[in-house]
Amino acid sequence: MSILTAMNRTLLIIKPDAVKRNLIGTILKQIVDAGFRIVGMKMVWLTKERGETFYEIHKGKDFYNWLVDFISSGPIVACCLQFPNAPTKLREVVGATDPKKAAHGTVRNLYGTSVGENVVHASAPDEDPHHEIQFFFMEEELFDHS
């Protein structure tokens, strides 16, 4: 993968609360309407062990165990998205972690119910979106829309 492609890709997870509330299509429409292209997508149910591995960056924080239990509590939809400066742009579209503090019209503002049940995970630009993408997808499962 080229460095340009890596900077233009990010990961979105539609979390179990949103899947349970049948918001998959609604959230994806908002993401696509913002200009993102879906280059990979799958529905999975993470085991607790896979949840621990995914959220390892948060290990030791007071919310870690709750987060792992929540992400492994039901099916999720993992999406690899493509857009210029994708990680930063996606965080703008989904809004702040706390739905009450998220900008009006963002995904979390519209559909989140709490800081924990905020319907989506979006890779943080300063962490490693490429690593998170690789957690869910092999390169041959992704399609370039450049």
Give the residue numbers marked as catalytic: 121
Structure tokens at 21: 């509330």
Measured distance CA(129)–CA(146) in Å, rounded: 18
How far is residue 62's CA from residue 4's CA, in Å, rounded to a whole number?
A: 36
The C-alpha atoms of residue 51 and residue 55 are separated, in whole angstroms, by: 6
Contact between 95 and 102 under an 8 Å Cβ cutoff? The reply is yes
Please answer whether residues 69 and 78 qualify as being in contact, where contact means their C-beta atoms are separated by less than 8 angstroms: no
Give the residues across from 80 on adjacent strands.
11, 40
